[in-house]
């Protein structure tokens, strides 16, 4: 968030410099209202661009082994334009290269859900999938999955057979 603030301040300084330069080069006085209007329009335009392109810029930097499985689009009242086109503010991804399969039960996989949200540190949450039974178990909070498929300290959650997170994890490794 600090980088965004610094970027906005730098943009404001650039707009002010351009205003002063154009005002001096033309030899005539530009309207006084033009500077605050240009500052406001430029800063709001940059903020909107920065918000809408965050998701594509972050996902472009991810390695090929990471698959985005659930982008979350949201609208908020302090971003009224987001009611017209909701923006992605967070997403869940899985690193298919880090998937571990059970030697005893190949249908069981263990991986990390990568939780990415704007202005917050990225988190990894361990997750297990039973690819044959289409179910998931979150392994956070002391839950564990044994090699034979025994789950302790957690519960299996039934998933749709076409769940994108399960498909990405089960096809990885």
For residues 144 and 76, membership in a common domain is answered with yes
* Residue where a domain terminates, one of 29, 60, 91: 60
Say whether both 149 and 131 belong to one domain.
yes
* Same domain for 56 and 70: no
The total number of structural domains that make up the chain: 2
Question: How many C-beta atoms surround the C-beta of residue 130 within 10 A?
Answer: 22
pLDDT in tens, 99-155: 888 888 888 899 999 999 998 999 999 999 999 999 999 998 888 888 777 788 888
pLDDT at 86 over 90: yes
First CA to last CA distance, the chain: 35
Are residue 102 and residue 134 in the same domain, yes or no?
yes
Residues 36 and 115 in one domain: no
The DSSP call for residue 155 is: -
Shared domain check, 113 and 70? yes
Q: Is 125 left (phi over 0), alpha (psi -120 to 50) or beta?
A: beta
Q: Do residues 52 and 123 share a domain?
A: no
The pTM (predicted TM-score) of the whole model is 0.80
Q: Which two tokens stand for residue 87?
A: 């923006």
pLDDT at residue number 96: 87
56 and 86 fall within a common domain: no
Residues 12 and 93 in one domain: no
Does residue 17 sit in the same domain as residue 76? no
pLDDT in the model for residue 173: 58
Q: How far apart are CA 98 and CA 169, in angstroms?
A: 9
159's CB contacts (< 8 A; 6+ apart) are 134, 135, 136, 165, 166
* Whether 76 and 55 share a structural domain: no
Write down the pLDDT at residue 152: 85
Q: Looking at the predicted structure, is the pLDDT value of residue 2 above 90?
A: no
Identify the bridge partners of residue 62 per DSSP, sorted by sequence position.
none
CATH number of the domain to which 124 belongs: 2.40.128
Q: Pick the last residue of a domain from 41, 60, 79.
A: 60
The residue out of 60, 94, 109 marking a domain boundary is 60
Going by pLDDT thresholds of 50, 70 and 90, the confidence category of residue 58 is very high
Q: What is the pLDDT of residues 4-49, one digit of tens each?
A: 899 999 999 999 999 999 999 988 788 989 999 999 999 999 999 9
Rounded mean pLDDT of 76-90?
Answer: 92
Q: Looking at the structure, tell me whether residues 80 and 55 fall in a common domain.
A: no
Containing domain of residue 56, as a range? 2-60
Q: For position 22, what pLDDT does the model report?
A: 92
């Amino acid at each position: 968030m600090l980088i965004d603030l610094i970027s906005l301040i730098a943009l404001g300084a650039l707009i002010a410099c351009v205003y002063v330069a154009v005002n001096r080069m033309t030899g005539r006085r530009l309207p006084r209202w033009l500077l605050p209007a240009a500052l406001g329009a430029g800063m709001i335009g940059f903020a909107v661009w920065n918000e809408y392109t965050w998701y594509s810029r972050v996902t472009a930097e991810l390695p090929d082994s990471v698959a985005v499985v659930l982008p979350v689009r949201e609208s908020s009242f302090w971003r009224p334009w987001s009611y017209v086109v909701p923006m992605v503010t967070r997403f869940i991804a899985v690193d298919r290269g880090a998937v571990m399969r059970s030697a005893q039960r190949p249908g069981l996989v263990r991986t990390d859900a990568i939780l990415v949200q704007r202005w917050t540190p990225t988190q990894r949450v361990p997750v297990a999938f039973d690819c044959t039974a289409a179910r998931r178990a979150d392994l956070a909070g002391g839950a564990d999955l044994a090699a034979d498929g025994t789950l302790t300290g957690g519960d299996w959650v039934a998933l749709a057979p076409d769940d994108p997170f399960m498909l990405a994890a089960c096809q990885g490794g």
